[in-house]
Structure 1
Amino acid sequence: MLINFLKDFFLIKEEQLALHDKDTFRKSALRILLMTALFFGLAINLMTSIEAWRQDNFLIIAINLSFVLLTLFLIKASKHYSNKLSATFLISLLISSLLMIPLIQDNQTLKHGLVFLYTLPILSRLFFGVKASLIAMGFNVLTYTYIVSDFNISLLPKQYDLTLPNTDMAFHTVVFVFINIAIPLAISRIFYTLEANAKQMEVLNNKINRNNELYEEIFEHTGTATLLCNRNGQILKANRKATKLLGFNDSNQLEESFINRWLAPIGESKERYFWQSNASNCQLRSDDKIHIELHRSNLTTHGYYVMHLQNVTHLKAMRKVLDHTQERNSRLAKFDALTQLPNHSNFCQLVNQKITKGQEHKTGAMFIIRISQFKLLNKQFGQEKANQIIISFTRKLQENLSDKTITSRLRGVKFACFIPIGQTYLIQRNLSALIQSVLPPQLKLNGESINLEYHVGISYTPSDGTNAQELIEHCEMALENATSADRLAYYNHARETNLIEEYQLGTLLSEAIKQDEIHLWLQPQVSASGDIVSFEALARWQLSNGQYVSPVVFIRIAESLGLLPKLAENLVRELVSLLAVWHQEHIKTPVAINLAGQELMDDTFFALIMSLSADYTWLSEMLELEITETSSVMTNPLIHKRLKTLSQYGFSIAIDDFGTGQASLGQLIDIPANILKIDRRFVAPLPSDKRHLDIVKSTIEMANSLNMKVVAEGIETKDQAELLAALGCHTLQGYYFGKPTPVLEWTKNDNEKAKQLRMVF
């Protein structure tokens, strides 16, 4: 128990000895010195105090007591070691020694006592730096001078002389204890730490050497010619393969040189710091016929580059041969270079000849095949394998088709086929079955199975066209109508008419947007009590003949033509002008505006919203943004980022048509929405349809759990309104409460109607 206490006090337990910081061993050394001073000091002080008591010299007793108390105080204070504590200890020793000069008037005894000052340099070095030790050495020059000289100092009268008969022996004992016991023990504690440090350094050094050997072996056996360079292109290390590739026998000839001394960039890589590119094409400066491909990877921890070198001379030669072959094939004006199928012009010529002759069959069918999602295959397998897939598909298709079929590669992954048919295949179901039977659902490439999907556009001759050009055009139109659900689409004349009408309508729409002829109507949104709490702004377009175009139609056309951002810009400007007037009139009724997503992808439109928000600080409280969830771009990360920005600026974000579009639940995570709009298709069957009722109820419960406000649209009956209010729907909207009406209805007569239906704050 006592031994454990002493070990803990002197900090010499195993875990304490393992600590190599200087404060630990200095604290240990200080305690050793203090305890030595205390125990031996008590014995000496007791002896001298008894003699002083006999001589009625109470000053010595007081000095002895002060020494003991000071030592105890320093021992207690050593619990929290600091340089101040060590300095206090050394200064106490110095003052104690200097006090002997006036109080010990026996010169020989005084000199014996001053010898103790010789321990100051080593104690100063023990607890402080070399400077402190040098200062102590310099001071001891004075001590030495005084001791060896015959100079006698008498500063006080004789009655203050504290010399006792045994004082000389006491001084000898103190010097003996400190020099022979205390200081060696303290230094031993330090030496133990130094030895432990040395052993640890040796272990670490051995570990570093082993790791270095391991890394050397890994670097040497990377499997490729490898260089280690710094950012400036200086070669720090080269393995054997790299040394041999660059034409040397010894890597020392390369190290410390710069990479551009041995390699010269070519082609697109021809730049000053070509080694900093991910991949560079180079040639040896010593032999420009040797081409090397340089690939870089970062070592971010140290900021160095690992360079992998590959000799691609033979690949360059092969590519050159391939280029010549392709060049020769490109001169073959009538065939596709990759598949060797007739190209577009040759195909048209062959088909027209077949139609003109019409000897065996009077009818025929043309279909254009497009391989779906081929860009993904291209990205997954690379260009070379993608080409092999096309070639393999071509061969398989030709094997499945009859010899009478004319096949062509039009472009990319589009293939056209013309086949004479009999009456049986005039029935679309039969022709679809035939086409599906000849399309390979799966290909094998290098033992790997690749699944393929297709979209097909089909037209008949002579009903859909009497020449190849017409049939191809009509197949292309049909192909546009092919979907993932119905992958085979037939040309439809009525559909063509609709497309033409939509094209004409798109031209008018573009002009209408330029002339700002599309305006906003407002439809009220009410609370469960029937009070108007907000509006939804809806776009309306009236043609010059007075007819209105359905928003579903012109919004779809605007989206397909990329006109939505400009249209939304016009509508937002119109709406903000209205809100500015209402703000001045203290009409604080929010208005929601629909955004399909394409607008938020547009930098100009997003900048407009941010600019208006800065100009009108109240705008975020009055303008709500409804995001149409059916838009496919709503899953784009840029949309999510910009919506988060708008939300941070205080705008309310609503998810419109919830449950009908792109990954509804995912949108609740990605979009910072605080309003959820239940689509009319879920509201219309209420209250009779239990399935729709359960869906609406669970949607409201989910929205409430997410602290989102719920708006139900498409309410047309009182029963629907009462049911949705009872279910906890916050806001109601529909023809039952009010149809959309022009903005003028709400703003005429100094916004009279808007003021009446909403309290003015």
Structure 2
Amino acid sequence: MDAVRPRTAVSGPRRRRALIVTGCLTVSADLVLWAVAPGTFRGLPPAYWIMAVLAVIADARPHPLPGRRASRVILPSICFTFAIALAWGFAPALAVQLVAVTVAGVRMRHPVPRTIHLAVQHAAGLGAAALVAGLAGWRIDPRPDLRDAALTCAAAAAWIAARYTVAAVVGRWASERRTRHRRRARADLMATAALLLLAPVLLVAARVSPALLPMALLALHAVHRMVRWAGESEQAARMDPLTGLPNRRALQSTMSERGADRQRALLLLDLDRFRTVNDALGHGAGDRLLARVADRLTAAVPRHDLVVRLGGDEFAVLATRVEGAASARRIAEHLSEALSRPFGLDGTPVELTASIGIALQSGRRDGATLLREAESAMYEAKQRGDQVAVHGPDAPHTAPDRLALLADLRDALRHDPPDDGIVLYYQPQIAIATGEVVGVEALLRWRHPRRGLVGPEELLRVAEPTPVMRLLTARVLDQVVAQLAVWRTERRPLRAAVNVSARDLHAGDVADRVGRLLREYEVPADLLQLEITESALMADPHRVLDTITRLDRMGVAISLDDFGTGYSSLQHLRRLPLTEVKIDRSFVLGMADDRGDAAIVRSVIGLAESLGLRAVAEGVEDELTWRLLAAAGCHTAQGWFHARPMPAAELADWLSRYRPVRPGVLRGPWIPAK
């Protein structure tokens, strides 16, 4: 239990010593006050003693706000001591306040220096309030007027200013984490002001009948509950309920509160093959494993570093004391080593690895940028099969030109078409046996306001390692499904193939978006086909399998793009619910001149035929290649020999002029697209 206590709390023998020392100091201070101003304490009315007792009782339940400083405590006694200062002066109020602070310090297990700090703050506040009241000659009147109200507000303002000036000077309140404390100070200020402005009400009640004063405890209880609820709500909003770690909101808040002279590193961890645990042992076991991972990460980092669960199987570590990329990489390797030890789960040893992306924070770079860079580095590590990758100026995706292009793309996606400049070109896919157009592939273009037309290769190279890729895929799917609806209305039901990235498949919500779009536009699912690459499968095959299985059950065809250029291709063909394989253009372009390429193409076609899949050849640019594919039994082909990619309007014109011709009667190339 000691591990979860605040560092400033004391317990056991230390608590007893603190209680004795604090009590002696309080008694001594009160005796000094009594000796210095004995006349002040003589003849005090019963209302004073009732308020004194109520102040001590009230501070038996102080209101600590989130934070470790003494300034983060609201003492309910201040409404009574403030009233005493207004009515009977500084010394009687200070005597009561010292006792009340002592009781609060004991209840909250404060060490002696922190209790003294708190007492000095409240003494300064009372002194300032008594000074204002004395200068104005303020005394409570049986029938108070606006002047009394104004003087009370002035005295309360002096109390607040004096107390928090002392807190700032003694506790160095403004030295770090200013944004968070500024936000918390607003709640502190509101509660403090409410208590102080209750003081004149207490004095009026005392004039009517001191027996009414204990009723103020009910109001104080309500304030206590309000402050406690506010603290619990803030804590819940910044905490992950499963692991008890801070969440994404807490991380972003902390990253915005950096010291000017420190460099920090953000390490983003994504657990590899975590879905296997859920599939094999159930989601309950997966949740327990995540909690165990959180405990192990917390134990592996120093207490001044922050461990965060971002969601799902993603964690982050904000290292606050690093000297550069090498230092951050050593931390990542230490975390990787900590996770490499098997986790005992229901009697089964579970082994985990993690892909870790590192981004360094220096200067004035905001937390959102840092998180995006760490995610990009993590994704790069996962793609390369490495455990650690560092985002830096030497990485290929971080060149200033590409970062500027990425920022422009993100801004463009905030606009609606056609203002965003995102356009789709469509390349026909021809059935080799009949020569008919059976579908199209949607290819992305972007009309940049300064760079002109940006092609898909550059777009994907910039966007795919970042969250912008999901926004881009969403925009492409919207436009393609809308175009399918138009073609269907025109009685030209073409099938359209759309490329999706590994990031889209890992997120899983691409299946939900596709289903919603198909229902919205009333487009049959068999008119949409999604193309995935082998690299996407290799990054996290279990998570990808879940997504494409959902799409397959909806009736959306799945095509394996760039077949033969990746790894474990035969395993993918055996396990995945595929409809077709696309033979990579690097093999198709050379099959007329290279016997090896031709043999690979024929083998892929035969394998697809035996598995009941369509074989689609891309990159067909001449008649000889077209005839060779026909002889090998390829089902479909696409390439410049038939037509270049073109906008939807030009495609309609091309289709109106196109006449299907089979390879056996071919006489020259097809009608080219303009």
Range class of TM-score, shorter chain: 0.3 to 0.5
Give the TM-score, by structure 2 length: 0.44
User: RCO higher in 1 or 2 (8 Å CA, sep ≥ 6)?
Assistant: 2
Larger Rg: 1
